[in-house]
Amino acid sequence: MSHHAKARRASPEPSLQSWFTRIAEAHQRIGDAVHRTPVVTSATLDGVCGARVFLKCENLQRTGAFKIRGATNAVRSLTGEERRRGVVAHSSGNHAQAVALAARMAGTRAHIVMPEDSSPVKLAATRGYGAQVHLCKPTLASREETAARLQEEHDLVLVHPFDDDRVIAGQGTAAKELLEEMPDLDVLLAPVSGGGLLSGSAIAARSLCPGIRIIGCEPLHADDAHRSFREGSLQPGSARATIADGLRATLSEKTLGLLLAFVDEIVTVPEEAILPALLFVLQRIKLVIEPSSAVVIAPLLSGALDVKDKKVGVILSGGNVGPEVLGMLGAF
């Protein structure tokens, strides 16, 4: 038995059926507020990896990322009293924009804590959706402390980016849509950061297609999920920088438990493979994706994952890429 298999069995398995019911309910709750994003194929990509690949294009989602699913489910799940109080969230970008828009749609106020080094594009978008932005030092501790202080001062409801059942259930709706369209996939790939998307995707996929192989993809420079999955316990984050800035969060006990129960493997992607994968998608598939999405394409291009003759589903998590990243592509 592999070390992974031991770690998975050691985990108390949450009820797959009850979790999938939450995802189905979330799908109903958010249906009129989010796009049912297209599933795109590429003969060129299929030829490179010898498989049939189906790309679930959350880069074309509202706010440019899958995060609007979980944020909308969380905000629409609030009681009337909670909605009157308003919400607070901390995020460097995509979750910030998602909570801001979800709050605006629900007619409630949003306070968003963002690191002072956040992308100007993401800061402007978050403010544009009507949120009040509070800048903090660029550390997780500062983000959490600032959010906790605002929560206390203004009696707000916290919408955590991943450590929240409502958010996880919402994120799982993307994989649910993909599996409804492509019911016989052999493999599903999704990026992993705090684990909300991968947890929700794994629950949806395992429920709709029990034999599917579920693989998380993560930058080697932010490999805490890979280490935590291998050890079966939470491991600290990495201090190294990665261009995949959306994947810097670390797992929570909740998301690690779900990954141990339902995911087969977490693979790491070297930093130098990320931008070439982004460029491949831009040039050959004509899709704009962010580096965090390129992390799921890189292992297919490099052959690091053997998917020959398989049907592979891929969650392209977002398309919020700034000019500073696009400017780097001239090097390739």
Closest by CA position to 197, among listed 228, 163, 171, 217: 171
The shares of helix, strand and coil residues in the chain, as percent rounded to the nearest 5, are: 55, 15, 30
Quote the CA–CA distance of 227 and 33 in Å, as a whole number.
36
| Beta carbons of 112 and 125 less than 8 angstroms apart | no
Taking CA 164 as the corner, what is the angle to CA 290 and CA 314, rounded to the nearest 5 degrees? Answer: 35
Beta-carbon contacts of residue 300 (< 8 Å; ≥ 6 apart): 45, 48, 49, 51, 53, 189, 307, 312, 314
Quote the CA–CA distance of 282 and 266 in Å, as a whole number.
25
* 18: annotated active-site residue: no
Residue type, 36: R
Catalytic choice (77, 91, 92, 118)? 92
**Largest Cα–Cα distance of the chain, in whole Å?**
56
* 92: annotated active-site residue: yes
Report the interhelical angle of 165-181 vs 196-208 (nearest 10°).
50
Strand order in the sheet with 52-57: 39-40, 52-57, 311-316, 187-191, 213-219, 265-269
Catalytic choice (67, 122, 176, 254)? 67
In Å, how far are 39, 54, 185 from 182, measured between CA atoms?
Answer: 9, 8, 6
Please report which residue ranges of 129-271 form alpha helices under DSSP H. Answer: 140-154, 165-181, 196-208, 224-231, 253-262
Alpha-carbon torsion, ordered 190, 191, 192, 193, to 10 deg: -150
Residues with catalytic annotation? 67, 92
